Amino acid sequence: PHAASAFLAREMVGPDRLKVVTTLHGTDITLVGQEPSFFPITRFVINRSDAVTAVSGFLKEETKRVFSCQREIEVIPNFVDARVFTPEAATVDRDRFAPAGERLIIHASNFRKVKNLPAVLNVFHEVQAQVPARLLLVGEGPEMPAVREQVKRLGLTDDVVFLGHLDELQTVLPVADVLLLPSLHESFGLVALEAMACGVVPVVTDNGGAGEFVQDGINGFLRDPLDTAGMTAAVLQVLQDESLRQQMVEEARRDAAADFGAPCVIKQYLDLYDRVLAPGG
């Protein structure tokens, strides 16, 4: 709706006075898949925008596939504010969630089917059988009743903490050891980047844009979202080898702040705006 409104505004004042830059975040594609009636207007505004960006190469190619789009789409990734998302940002004590020194795994999402919540719980169940651990669940969404039922069925009630929606994820994220994000697909996977900046090792889906900033075995792990055994092994590798975890934390923090820090990515947007606003742009 924002891009369509921008297009109408440009039509009213004239293309010389107003330029439209449309950024695709991923829900654009998902929404069209759920509501085919949005397809024509979404394709129309993409093609009529002065410039179009996507937050990942994966999303760029998916957009071209879904909309049969031939226009140029520039990839400008999401960013993390490394001044906000830091290992020191937590406002809660780790002991609140791990009173006996348990390892902490965190999952944060909108709790929709695409987030593959059964895999989150199945992986945690297998991990907990070998390492004392607790699972922090952040967020709300339509799959929450099924999640609560699975927690009970697996006998995990005492070891899963439901934190609900948090406006400031950085207040809790740094207390975790591992972020688990086994989504069926992720256009980018911003929470994984935020976890990296906070010193939390991400174990994430390899289907989507996360592979554009997570280097498997270096600053995190990439696994097929249906490979629960592979995800379990990756989580255990982090939790059982402290030197490896520390090494991955250092790599993750450095990579998050360097290539995906706010100043770097904002500059890419400013450069794009300058090109669009230049005469003949």
Q: What is the pLDDT of residues 266-276, one digit of tens each?
A: 999 999 999 99
pLDDT digits (tens, 9 = 90+) for 191-200: 999 999 999 9
Query: Does residue 54 register a pLDDT over 70?
Result: yes
- Averaged pLDDT of the chain: 94
Helix (H) or strand (E) holding 147: helix 144-153
- pLDDT value at 33 more than 80: no
Give the model confidence (pLDDT) of 65-91 as tens digits.
988 888 999 999 999 999 999 999 999
What confidence tier does 1 reach under pLDDT thresholds 50, 70, 90? low
CA distance 54 to 210: 14
Domains of the chain by range and CATH? 2-79+261-277 (3.40.50.2000), 94-258 (3.40.50.2000)
The predicted structure's pLDDT at residue 152:
98
Neighbour tally for 229: CB within 10 Å? 12
Tokens encoding 129: 């059988």
Q: State the pLDDT confidence band at 279, using cuts at 50, 70 and 90.
A: confident
Poorest-confidence range of 6-15, 50-59, 122-131? Answer: 6-15
Picking from 191, 203, 207, 210, the residue whose alpha carbon sits closest to that of residue 232 is: 203
Residue 17 in this model has a pLDDT that exceeds 90: no
C-alpha to C-alpha distances, 269 to 21, 60, 92, nearest whole angstrom: 10, 16, 35
pLDDT at residue 158 above 90? yes
Mean pLDDT of the 123-146 span: 98
Phi/psi of residue 22, nearest 5 degrees: -105, 125
User: Would the pLDDT of 155 be above 70?
Assistant: yes
Name the percent of the chain lying above pLDDT 90. 86
